Amino acid sequence: MTPASVRYLKALCVGSVAILVAIACGNPSPQSSNLAANQTLTFPILADFGTLDPAVSDAETDQEIQQNMFDGLVKFDNNLTVVPDIAASMPTVSGDGLTYTFKLRTDVTFSNGDKVTSKDVLYSWNRSAAMQGAYATNLAAIDGYDKVSKNTASGAALEALLEKNDPSVTLTGLTAPDASTVLVKMSAPAGWFLPAIALSGSTGEIVDVNAVKQDFDNWWTNPATAIGTGPFKMTSRVPKQSVDFAAVSNWWGSPKPTLTKVHLDVSVTDASTAITKYEQGGYDVYGYGGYSNMPVADIKRIQATPNEVSQLVLQPKVRSYWVSFNMVHDTKRTAGGPFLLANGQSGHDLRMAFALAVDKAKLVTVVCQDIVCTQATGGLIVKGLNGYLGDGQDPLAKFDAAQAKTLLKSADPDGSKTKGLTYTYDPENSLNKPTAEFLQSQWHDNLGVDVAIQPVSHSQFIKARLKGSYVLSRDGWQADYNHPQDWYDNLWGKIVGCPDSGCSTGYDTKAYDDLVAKADTESGDQATADYKALAQMLINDVVYIPLFYSKGAFLFKPYVKGAGTNNFSDFHWNEIQILTH
Amino acid sequence: MLTRGTLLYIGQRLVLIGFTVVAVSSIVFLGIHRLPGDALFNEHLHGTQYELLLHHYGLDRPLWDQYTSFLSAMIFHGNLGESLVNRGVQITPLVVRELTVSVEVGLFALIFTIGLGMLLGVVAALRQNTWVDYVLSTTSVIGYSMPSFVIATFLILLFAVWLDNLTQGTFYFQIGWTGTYGTIGEIWLPAFALGFPYASIVARLTRASMLEVIRQDYIRTARAKGLKETVITIRHALRNALIPVITILGPLVIGIITGGVIVENIFGIPGLGKEFANSILNRDYNIVIGVFTMYAALVGLANLGVDLLYVVIDPRIRY
């Protein structure tokens, strides 16, 4: 080759490498050749959010929105794996599992330009622990939490305590050796700690002290101070009418948002009206923001509409439904009934009889029309989450009317124990009433037992159920994060206050408490095995009747690229593009 | 027209409305706190978290103490407190905004009620015992036999779904609400759904009243004088036929206000009606009280407006 051609080749190579490096190192927004000029995403939320303050939020909608405004040290990716977020990498964990060392990314800024440092993490987590919102316990494993959780100061008084690092509101296990390192010392090993702090829109998220101190309780209501590290920031809000968000320019993360604006319509509260508006082109997406409970009639109509059926996505969500028995009777739990643990084999057989008498496959057909739920055959934890037992692995999910009848005869030969029973439910969820009616008919047809059904408004129902006021009741759980601890700590045993209060069944045995305490300290296969042993314990004692796992229904216009959902949450707004249409 | 007597009457009524508003809000305050369940409790709360929430909103104080605080804040500062469900949302500006939206929709509904009702009634009367009369009378019977939520649902199906499908998206009613006060294109259908049942009542009343009036001697005299039929109908007959219609305007306005609870929900209008149902379901005490307070004021003022209208329509009435 001539020198000129060598030079040309060299230049070509250097140029190619430069381009490759640029592609590899940069975080360009996802490119599509046919992007629409108007990159505004519009969707409804059927009720306004409760709060966008991560310290106190406790509703799915709050969290779905906040995940686009705030970040934590770690997060769940779309496959429900915990991955680094603001942290530069996953933390290093000491051999005894008591110390987590997080190294922070150095390029993270809040939407107002403030740089994120380890001090922000300390402030945010101390604040969350001290404010004692519903998810404050996600930080409960950190040393010093018990003391901080007793704080009663609020508002400006709490802000003053936080600002001077008062010991009463400072987690002793939380330190910042330098601006980009956070050291977390636990009071005991906790295999669930990382999934818990990865929960988006919750207590593990980082807030800007400079913004929060403008208005300690309501800083998030004002677009000027609703500051986070996420790819979107709130630009306007008319309560119960609409909320607007704009992409943060030069956002530090990846992928860079393509959407420039997200408009949430809060004025439509009726699901069918919202769906009609979607069909008219008024919305780009339906089901985002925690409102994926689509009426079955609308789903069937859309399934029968050729040009819309491909827009419908039915996604299993993390909600599980079952029937709970009251299993303890004392001065605080007054319901009593025939299903008590203290009744020994008779109580066990009656619980089993009531469980086997229900045809769960038929329930799914009758109540959910085989659309909005699937039969719960793999335990209480839903399919797709850690702790799922496997298809068909829950014997309580079986239907055996003959055995149910035999068990009933032996445990209650004259029918006196099962006379006058009542099943209580909250009618706000549209599935609960038909479920109650179905159960009533199954127990009548397959056991010959007449059970009354009683609707009670939701908040009253939950309060009374947790006090042990119902013999038979609707029960269920929506997972907060992908870890079995979220289920076994929150629903049974001493941690929630069983047997005296705080749990539906009152179920609390020493074996259960010991094993859950052990499992909570473990991680990996050993933890999984122990949590499955806990599930088996509940099955052996027939603590529940499994019913179904629910599905969410979503509608996505064909031109909305990147929108979607996993079992837990919506895909983030920065992954979405509006294509020409 | 605004004589001293009338002004005095208005003043008296406003004072009475003020007392009514305080009485209604007090009854609702005490009543709603007796309802089982509350907005703050949920199954995620552990330990003292629930107590802290109650403390934050002052709900752990004795009811009497809460009531006196509420009353003084409302009367002296116009402050109805903060939402229990939507943190940081101040209720007074919220319900005042929602009230204005409901008033807007209600006024449009009233235009349908009076305008359409009178038109149908007059035409039916003038074409008595013809097919026109039969069609209009049947329509009226259908109108007041169906509650507004049935009409609203049917109209959405007709104009928003079927028409959309039929015209391939060329011509249909676009569901939605732009900004705070919407657009004419968004208001007309909900206003019609809200006003049509009452328009049917007005139509029947107008028809009956017109039939009576057009047989009066003075109408015959007017015809004998050679006046045009339109002048006779509008200037001489209709004005007198309107008096019985005006007497039922009060209940009609109340009906439209309460009908808004359902229609606003169905059409997704961010008004007081939508708030009414949701706040009760959510046990958001403070908003429930705010909504009832606004409704009490609205009903009182609407009734006052109707009473003042008598003076305009019937010169014999003086306050």
A277 CA: distance to closest CA in chain B (Å): 6
Give the residue from A42, A65, A243, A267 with the most B CB atoms within 10 Å of its CB, the best one to mutate: A267
Q: If you search the block for the tokens 């709490």, which residue do you land on? A: A158
- pLDDT, residue A22, reads 43
Alpha helices by DSSP H, B236-317: 239-247, 249-267, 272-281, 285-313
- pLDDT, residue A20, reads 43
Q: Which residues of B touch A308 (CB under 8 A)?
A: none
Q: Encoding tokens for residue B43? A: 């199954």
Q: Which residues of B touch A137 (CB under 8 A)?
A: 46
Phi-psi region of A384 (alpha: psi -120 to 50; beta: other; left: phi over 0): left
Rounded to 10 degrees, the C-alpha dihedral A450/A455/A456/A459 comes to 120
Give the residue from B45, B279, B283 with the most A CB atoms within 10 Å of its CB, the best one to mutate: B45
Q: Encoding tokens for residue A76? A: 């769940």
Output Rg (C-alpha) for chain A, integer angstroms: 26
Q: How far, in whole angstroms, is CA B25 from its chain's centroid?
A: 19
Among A373-387, A476-490, B57-71, whose mean pLDDT is lowest? Answer: B57-71
CB atoms B49 and A133 under 8 Å: yes
Give the residue from B175, B177, B266 with the most A CB atoms within 10 Å of its CB, the best one to mutate: B175
| One-letter identity of residue A306 | P
With a cut of 80, say whether residue A329 has pLDDT above it. Answer: yes
Higher pLDDT residue, B85 or A539?
A539
- Write out chain B's pLDDT in tens, 319 residues: 578 888 899 999 999 999 999 999 999 998 888 877 778 887 778 777 888 888 888 888 998 899 899 889 988 998 999 999 898 899 999 999 999 999 999 999 999 898 889 888 989 988 888 999 999 889 888 888 888 888 998 998 899 888 888 887 788 888 888 888 999 999 999 999 999 889 998 999 999 988 888 888 988 898 898 888 888 888 888 888 888 888 788 888 888 888 888 899 888 899 998 888 888 888 888 899 999 998 899 889 988 888 888 777 777 777 7
Among A248-257, A289-298, A325-334, B170-179, whose mean pLDDT is lowest? Answer: B170-179
pLDDT, tens digit (0-9, with 9 covering 90-100), for A84-113: 999 999 999 999 999 999 999 999 999 999
| One-letter identity of residue A470 | Y
A40 close to A545: Cβ distance less than 8 angstroms? no
Q: Which residue is closest to A476 within chain B, CA to CA?
A: B43
Q: How far apart are CA A188 and CA B27, in angstroms?
A: 52
A303 close to A297: Cβ distance less than 8 angstroms? no
E-state strands within B25-179: none
Cα distances (Å, whole numbers) of residue A166 to A170, A172, A211, A353: 6, 11, 20, 56
Q: How far, in whole angstroms, is CA A367 from its chain's centroid?
A: 24
Partner A contacted by B49 (CB < 8 A): yes
- pLDDT, residue A13, reads 47
pLDDT band at A17 (very low <50, low <70, confident <90, very high): very low
With a cut of 60, say whether residue A28 has pLDDT above it. Answer: no
CB atoms B55 and A428 under 8 Å: no
- pLDDT, residue A24, reads 43
- pLDDT, residue A417, reads 94
Higher pLDDT residue, A203 or A19?
A203
CB atoms A53 and B275 under 8 Å: no
Q: Encoding tokens for residue B195? A: 């006003």
B217 CA: distance to closest CA in chain A (Å): 54
Strand partners, A237: A243
Q: Which long-range contacts (CB under 8 A, 24 or more apart) does A173-179 make?
A: A173/A142, A173/A143, A173/A144, A173/A145, A174/A121, A174/A122, A174/A125, A174/A126, A174/A142, A174/A144, A175/A122, A176/A117, A176/A118, A176/A119, A176/A121, A176/A122, A177/A118, A178/A118, A179/A104, A179/A117, A179/A118, A179/A119
Q: How far apart are CA A408 and CA A207, in angstroms?
A: 57
A530 CA: distance to closest CA in chain B (Å): 24
Q: How far apart are CA A114 and CA A103, in angstroms?
A: 18
CB atoms A49 and B43 under 8 Å: no
Q: How far apart are CA A565 and CA A543, in angstroms?
A: 32
Higher pLDDT residue, A22 or A62?
A62
- pLDDT, residue A274, reads 93
Mean pLDDT score of chain A: 92
Q: Is A398 helix (H, G, I), strand (E, B) or coil?
A: coil
Q: Is A553 helix (H, G, I), strand (E, B) or coil?
A: strand
| A402 contact partners, CB below 8 Å, separation of at least 6 | none
A130 close to A153: Cβ distance less than 8 angstroms? yes
How much of chain A exceeds pLDDT 70, in percent? 94
Q: How far apart are CA B70 and CA B64, in angstroms?
A: 10
Q: Which residues of A touch B280 (CB under 8 A)?
A: none
| Mean pLDDT on A542-558 | 96
| A403 contact partners, CB below 8 Å, separation of at least 6 | A356
- pLDDT, residue A32, reads 55
- pLDDT, residue B1, reads 57
List strands edge to edge, sheet with A174-178.
A92-93, A99-103, A181-185, A174-178
A211 close to A159: Cβ distance less than 8 angstroms? no
- pLDDT, residue B177, reads 87
pLDDT, tens digit (0-9, with 9 covering 90-100), for A38-69: 999 999 999 999 999 999 998 899 999 999 99
- pLDDT, residue A369, reads 93
- pLDDT, residue A39, reads 97
Phi-psi region of B78 (alpha: psi -120 to 50; beta: other; left: phi over 0): left
Q: Encoding tokens for residue A533? A: 């042993």
Closest CA to A239 of B231, B93, B151: B93
Q: Judged by CB atoms within 8 Å, which residues 3-32 of B form the interface with A?
A: none
Q: Which of A56, A239, A459 sits opposite B37 (nearest CB)?
A: A459
Higher pLDDT residue, B50 or A24?
B50
- pLDDT, residue A31, reads 53
- Sort strands A451-455 and A421-425 into parallel, antiparallel or unpaired: parallel
B115 CA: distance to closest CA in chain A (Å): 28
- pLDDT, residue A7, reads 56
Euclidean distance between the first and the last CA atom of chain B, given in angstroms as a whole number:
10
Instruction: Break chain A down into helix, strand, coil percent, rounded to 5.
Output: 35, 20, 45
Q: How far apart are CA A460 and CA A457, in angstroms?
A: 6
Q: Which residues of A touch B97 (CB under 8 A)?
A: 238
pLDDT, tens digit (0-9, with 9 covering 90-100), for A108-149: 999 999 999 999 999 999 999 999 998 999 999 999 999 999
Q: Which of A132, A265, A280 sits opposite B52 (nearest CB)?
A: A132
Angle, nearest 10°, between helix axes B285-313 and B4-32? 160
Give the residue from B38, B49, B85, B262 with the most A CB atoms within 10 Å of its CB, the best one to mutate: B49
Q: Which residue is closest to B84 within chain A, CA to CA?
A: A50
Strand partners, A175: A183
Partner A contacted by B43 (CB < 8 A): yes
| B61 contact partners, CB below 8 Å, separation of at least 6 | B69
pLDDT, tens digit (0-9, with 9 covering 90-100), for A152-170: 898 999 999 999 999 999 9
Euclidean distance between the first and the last CA atom of chain A, given in angstroms as a whole number:
52
| One-letter identity of residue B316 | R
- pLDDT, residue A540, reads 96
Q: How far apart are CA A528 and CA A509, in angstroms?
A: 20
Q: Other C-beta atoms within 10 Å of B134: how many?
A: 12
- pLDDT, residue A216, reads 94
CB atoms A273 and B267 under 8 Å: yes
Closest CA to B94 of B286, B253, B302: B286
How much of chain A exceeds pLDDT 90, in percent? 84
Q: Which residues of B touch A241 (CB under 8 A)?
A: 180, 270
